[in-house]
Structure 1
Amino acid sequence: MKDSDAPSSTLHEKQESPSTNEHTETAKDEHGVYDVGERPVNRLNAVFENPLAGVPRERLFEDVERFCKRFGLEEYVDTFKKGALISQNPAGAQDLVELSEEEKEVLRREHTHKWSQPWQLYFMASMCSLAAAVQGMDETVNNGAQAIYLKQLGIKGHKNEENLTGLIVGAPYLACAILGCWLTEPLNRYLARRGTIFLSCFIAAVASVWEGVANSWVNLFIARFVLGLGIGSKSSTVPVYAAECSPAPIRGALVMMWQMWTAFGIMMGNIMGVAFMGLKEDLSWRLMLGSTVVLPLIVCAQVYFCPESPRWLIQHNKVEKAFRAFRTLRPTDLQAARDLYYAYVGVELERRVNKGKNFFTMFAELFTIPRNARATLASWIVMFMQQFCGVNIIAYYSTTIFQDSGYTIQEALLASMGTGILNWVFALPAFFTIDTWGRRNLLLFTFPFLAITLFWAGFSFWIETGIKASKKRVAMVTTGMYLFEVFYSPGEGPVPFTYSAEAFPLHVREVGMSWATATTWCFNFIISFTWPSLRRAFQPQGAFAWYAGWCLVGWVLVLLFVPETKELTLEELDQVFSVPTWKHATYQLKNAIWHFRVWVLRQKLEPLPKFYEGAENLVW
C-alpha cells in the first residue's frame, strides 16, 4: 500500500522537540495529524501512542468510511464506526451513546467472562498446543534412546565419545541457532503463519522417520540437524501466531500453552523411552525416535482448518480476509471490527516507519531503536535463562544422571518419565496466573527455588556409595530434580516464549522472535554439547552448582531489565518498552527494598506509587 492510501488521521505519534532538552513535543499538520516524516530515523518509532486518540469524531468517521469503501466492507460501516470509537478511548466505552446496552454488555463480558470465546479460538489454541507437543517429543525422546544407540552406533568407547555424544544430542539446536530460526522471517513472508507451521511440522515428520532408520552416527547427526530446521521456524512462529490471534485478557494464557504442551511432549518423549525399552536393543531406540512422526502429521492436517493471523493479513493488504478471520476468532462483529481497525491503523503507522527497510535494517533496529532494544534485551534475558537455569541437562541427560546416582537403566528411564510428568502437571498453575500475577512475578518467585533445588541435587552426589548410602543418594538426587521441575514449570517454562512473542512491535516481530528463539536454541546447544565434559571436569556437584549460580544471576537480571507485559494489547506494549531502562531499574530496586522491609523486617511503610502512572511525563 502506498503511503498516501493510509487514512491520515491514523498516523499519530509523539514528536520530539528540536531543542536539546529531553522532553517531547507534538507537531501536527493541517489535518490535525502527527507528522512522522521529519523524525530522526533512530528515534522514529520510539513510542507509538494510541493512533486514534485525539482525532475529531467527524474526521474519524470519514476515515472509517474511506477504509470500508477501500476494502469492500461498506455493509459493516456502522459497526466499524462503533469499533473505532471504542478503540479511541477503551476506558470510556461504557459512556458512548452510539452503543446499545447489549453492545456495552458484550464489552463488559470481556473482563467478567474472559474465557467466553468462540470455539474456533480454542481450536486454534489446540493446534498450537499440538505443535508444541511435537517439539517436546523431539527434544526428549532422545533421552532414553541415547542410552542404547551410543553403543549400537559405536560411539560408546570412542576416543571422542563426549564430543560426539554432545554433538548428536545438540544437533537440532545447532541447526535452530544458525539457520532454522533465521528462516522464520522469509518463510512467514511468503507462506504466512499457517504455511510456516505446516512446513515445519512436515520437516519434523520426515526427520523422525530418518532418525529411526539411521545406520551410522553421521547419518543420525544429519537427520537430527534437519529436524532442527523445522524446530527453529516452528518455535518462532507458533507463539507469534497465537499472540496475534488471541484477545488481550487471555493472550498470555493461550500463548503460554506453547510451553505447557511442550512439557506434555517432553513427558510423552520420556514415556516412549519406557514403552519401547523392553524390545530388542537395535529396534527399541529406533522406535523411540521414530514415534515422533505421528503428532506433526496431525498438526499438518489441523492447521488447514485454522484462520490465518489477522495481523499478518493486514500487513499484506488482505484486510477483507483479516476481518473474516477476526469474525471467526471474536464473539461479535463489534469486537472483530474494533480489533481489525485498531490493528490496521497501527500497521499503517508502522508501514510508514518501516518503508524501504530490509531484513538487515530491521535486525539492526532491534538494537538501535531504544524501544526495540529494551524488548531485545528483555527477551534475550528470559530466553538465555530458560537454558542456563539448567532445565535441559535434566531433559536430555536425566537418564544418565539417574544412572550415575545409583539407578539401573530401567529405573532411570522410569525416573526420567517422572520429571516429564511433573514438568507438564506443574505448568498448570502458570495457566491461571500468567495473566493475573504476571510474567515478572512468576520469574522472580521461582528463580530462588530453582537455585536451591539444583544445589540440592548436585550436593547429594557427595553422599557416599554403598547399599544404604546409595539409596539415600538416589532419593536425594531424585527429590532435588523433581522439585526443580515443580518450580521450573510455572516460571521459566512458560514465560520466555510468551514474553518474546508479545514484546516486539509488529514490523520487527518476525525478526525479533527469530533473535529470541535463536538465543534459546544457541544456548540450548551449548549446554547439551558441553554437559558431558562439564560433568567430568566439575563432577555432578560442581556442574549442578554452576547452573544454580546462574539462576541467582537471572533473578537480578529479571528484576532490573524485564518489564511486565500482562493484560496489555500488543500496541500498548510500545509505551511500556519506551520507559528508559535506568528508570525501570531504579524503580524496581526501590520496589525490592520496599518488599524486603515490609515482608521480612515487618516494617509499616507507605505503598510505593505505581510505576506506569504518569508515564506520559517520563523521558522517552
Structure 2
Amino acid sequence: MYGFESADVGVMSGAILFIQEDLKITEVQEEVLVGCLSIISLLGSLAGGKTSDAIGRKWTIALAAFVFQTGAAVMALAPSFPVLMVGRLLAGVGIGFGVMIAPVYIAEISPAIARGSLTSFPEIFINLGILLGYVSNYAFSGLPVHINWRIMLGVGILPSVFIGLALFIIPESPRWLVMQNRIEEARLVLLKTNVSEIEVEDRLVEIQQSAGTANAMRHEQKAVWRELFCPSPSVRRMLITGCGIQCFQQITGIDATVYYSPTIFKDAGIKGNAGLLAATVAVGFTKTMFILVAIFLIDRVGRKPLLYVSTIGMTTCLFGLGLTLSLLGNGPLGIKLAILSVCGNVAFFSVGIGPICWVLSSEVFPLRLRAQASALGAVGSRVSSGTIAMSFLSVARAITVAGTFFVFSGISALSIAFVYMCVPETKGKTLEEIEMLFKNEKERRGVELELRDVEHLVQKEPSG
C-alpha cells in the first residue's frame, strides 16, 4: 500500500520538471500539484478507519488500490492542468486509504516477536518505489516533453496492480474477525502466523478480551471518536505518542527533500535536467539500502535506540546541508557535500523514524480505537506533509533553500526530545501488553481483573 505514495513521490519529483515545461504551469500551481496529494489523502485516511471496521481490513486495501489506479490513469492521460489535478485528487484519496490501513493490517496479523520487522517491511517498497520512480524519470527524460512525464506518471499504476493480485492470497485480520464474532476463522488465520496452538489460544483470549471491550462500547453507544477527542489519561498518552511521531516524521522535511531534490541540487550548482535526475537516483538508492538495516535491527535493538540514531543523524545532516548551501554552493566541493548531506539525511530517516513511525502508530492503540486512532494519526501526517510540500518553494524564496534546511534541522532537534519523553520501548510485547504501558497503576489493576474474568469464562465454556 505504501508503494502507491512512494511511486508517486519518486516520479513526481522528476516529472514536475517536464509538466512545468509542457503545460506551462506557474510556481504556485507546481506547489499545489505536489502538495495537494498529501492534504487530500486525509479524506481517505479519515474514511479508512470507519471503512476498515465496516468491511474489513482486506477489502479496504482493495478499495484503496482501485481508487489509486483510477487517479494514476487520469493523470497519465491528462490534456490540461485541471484534469491533471482531478487525477491527483483521486490518487490522494487512494493513498489516504492505503497509509491508514496497511500498518493496522500488518500489526494485527503479525506475531509479537516479528511485528516490528513485518510492520516496517513495507518501507522497503516505499523506498524501492521512490528509487524506481527516480530511475524511470532518468530513463524517460530523453523522450519528447509532451510524452515523457505521462509515461513517468503511468508507471505509478504498477504497485496497485500487484496489490490487487495479492488480495487473492492474503487473509483477513484475525482481530477484525473476532470483532465480527467469526472466532473459528480468526483461529485459522492465527494458526498460519504462530508457531504453536497454545500460543494461538493465548492470543485468541487476549484478542477476545480486547474485542469484548470494543463490542461493549458499541452496545453502550459510546462513539470511538468521542473517546479520542475526550480521552482518558492513558488514551491521551497514546495519542501523543502515536500522532506525535507521525507529525515529526513529516515536519522534519523528508517529503520536501525527496520531492524537491532536483531544486536542492540545482541550488548546489548541478546543471541540466539529466544531471539533476542522476543525482536523485543516488538519493533513492541510499534510501532503499538503509531501510534494510532498520528491518534487520528493529526487533533486535528495539524501537527507541534506532529512533535516537535516526533523529540525531537527521539533525546533523540537515544542519550540514544548510551550511553547505549557504557557504559552498555552486562549486565542486559544495555539490559533493550537498549530495552527501541529502543522502545522509534520507539514510538516517530510513534507519529509524521512517519505518518506526508506522510501527509505533499501529502498536500503541487498543483494538477498539486502533483503526480510527491510526486514521487520526495519518491525518496529522498528511496535513504536515502537504503543508511542507506546498510551502517549500515559497519559504525557500523568502529565506533561501539553506535557511529552510536550518529550520528543518531545528525541528529535527525537537524530535530527539520527543522520543526521549514520549516514546516507550515496545519491542517483543504483544499489542495488549503495549496497551498496559500507557496505563497508570489503578487502570492496570482494572484491566487485570477483566482479563481474569474472561479467562475463567473461556475455561468454563467446554463443560457448559
Structure 1 residue aligned with 2:332: 471
Structure 2 residue aligned with 1:562: 423
Distance 1:367 1:559, change over 3 A: farther
Question: Which structure 2 residues correspond to residues 294-443 of structure 1 after superposition, within 5 A?
Answer: 294-357=158-221, 359=223, 361-365=224-228, 367-407=230-270, 408-443=272-307
CA–CA distance in structure 1, aligned partners of residues 338 and 110 of structure 2: 41
**Contact 1:403/1:409 (CA < 8 Å) preserved in 2?**
no
Are positions 1:198 and 2:62 aligned together?
yes
Structure showing greater Rg: 1
SS at match of 1:437: coil
SS at match of 1:572: helix
- Which residue, out of 115, 124, 145, partners 2:15? 145
Following TM superposition, by how much is the alpha carbon of 1:163 offset from its aligned partner in structure 2, in angstroms? 2.2
**Contact 2:49/2:100 (CA < 8 Å) preserved in 1?**
no
Q: Which has the higher contact order (CA 8 A, sep 6+)?
A: 2
| Worse overlay, 429-438 or 343-352 | 343-352
Distance 1:365 1:390, change over 3 A: closer
**Contact 1:366/1:376 (CA < 8 Å) preserved in 2?**
no
Following TM superposition, by how much is the alpha carbon of 1:404 offset from its aligned partner in structure 2, in angstroms? 2.2
Following TM superposition, by how much is the alpha carbon of 1:464 offset from its aligned partner in structure 2, in angstroms? 5.6
**Greater helix proportion:** 2
Are positions 1:490 and 2:360 aligned together?
no
Are positions 1:173 and 2:38 aligned together?
yes
CA–CA distance in structure 2, aligned partners of residues 349 and 480 of structure 1: 49
Following TM superposition, by how much is the alpha carbon of 1:393 offset from its aligned partner in structure 2, in angstroms? 1.1
SS at match of 2:306: helix
Amino acid at match of 2:378: T
Following TM superposition, by how much is the alpha carbon of 1:346 offset from its aligned partner in structure 2, in angstroms? 2.7
Amino acid at match of 1:346: S
Are positions 1:136 and 2:6 aligned together?
yes
Are positions 1:164 and 2:25 aligned together?
no
Question: Which structure 2 residues correspond to residues 110-125 of structure 1 after superposition, within 5 A?
Answer: none
Q: Give per-residue Cα distances to partners, 1:159-211, cap 9 Å, x unaligned.
A: xx33211110012111112x111011221123211100011011111111111
User: What runs of 5+ residues in structure 1 fail to find an aligned partner?
Assistant: 1-130, 156-160, 581-611
SS at match of 1:493: helix
**Contact 2:228/2:373 (CA < 8 Å) preserved in 1?**
no
Are positions 1:525 and 2:386 aligned together?
yes
CA–CA distance in structure 1, aligned partners of residues 56 and 147 of structure 2: 39
**Contact 2:322/2:403 (CA < 8 Å) preserved in 1?**
yes
Question: Which structure 2 residues correspond to residues 442-461 of structure 1 after superposition, within 5 A?
Answer: 442-461=306-325
Following TM superposition, by how much is the alpha carbon of 1:366 offset from its aligned partner in structure 2, in angstroms? 5.2
Amino acid at match of 1:213: L
> CA RMSD for the aligned pairs?
1.8
Q: Give per-residue Cα distances to partners, 1:195-239, cap 9 Å, x unaligned.
A: 000110111111111111111112111211110111111111111
**Contact 1:143/1:397 (CA < 8 Å) preserved in 2?**
yes
CA–CA distance in structure 1, aligned partners of residues 138 and 126 of structure 2: 19
- Which residue, out of 290, 296, 321, partners 2:154? 290
Question: Which structure 2 residues correspond to residues 466-615 of structure 1 after superposition, within 5 A?
Answer: 470-579=331-440
Amino acid at match of 1:483: G
**Contact 1:463/1:472 (CA < 8 Å) preserved in 2?**
no
SS at match of 1:169: helix
Following TM superposition, by how much is the alpha carbon of 1:373 offset from its aligned partner in structure 2, in angstroms? 1.0
Distance 1:423 1:522, change over 3 A: same
SS at match of 2:258: helix
Distance 1:502 1:367, change over 3 A: farther
Q: Give per-residue Cα distances to partners, 1:538-593, cap 9 Å, x unaligned.
A: 1011100000000111111111112221111010112101149xxxxxxxxxxxxx
TM-score, reference length from structure 1: 0.69
Q: Give per-residue Cα distances to partners, 1:472-526, cap 9 Å, x unaligned.
A: 2211111111111121111111111110011100001111000111111110000
| Worse overlay, 131-140 or 328-337 | 328-337
Structure 2 residue aligned with 1:82: none
Q: Give per-residue Cα distances to partners, 1:402-440, cap 9 Å, x unaligned.
A: 122222211110111111111110011111221222212
CA–CA distance in structure 2, aligned partners of residues 392 and 168 of structure 1: 14
**Contact 1:310/1:325 (CA < 8 Å) preserved in 2?**
yes
Percent sequence identity over aligned pairs: 26
Amino acid at match of 2:37: P
CA–CA distance in structure 1, aligned partners of residues 226 and 263 of structure 2: 40
CA–CA distance in structure 2, aligned partners of residues 549 and 362 of structure 1: 33
CA–CA distance in structure 2, aligned partners of residues 562 and 333 of structure 1: 33
Distance 1:142 1:327, change over 3 A: same
Distance 1:330 1:415, change over 3 A: same
**Contact 1:449/1:487 (CA < 8 Å) preserved in 2?**
yes
TM-score, reference length from structure 2: 0.91
| Alignment: residue pair count | 442
Question: Which structure 2 residues correspond to residues 131-280 of structure 1 after superposition, within 5 A?
Answer: 131-155=1-25, 161-177=26-42, 179-280=43-144
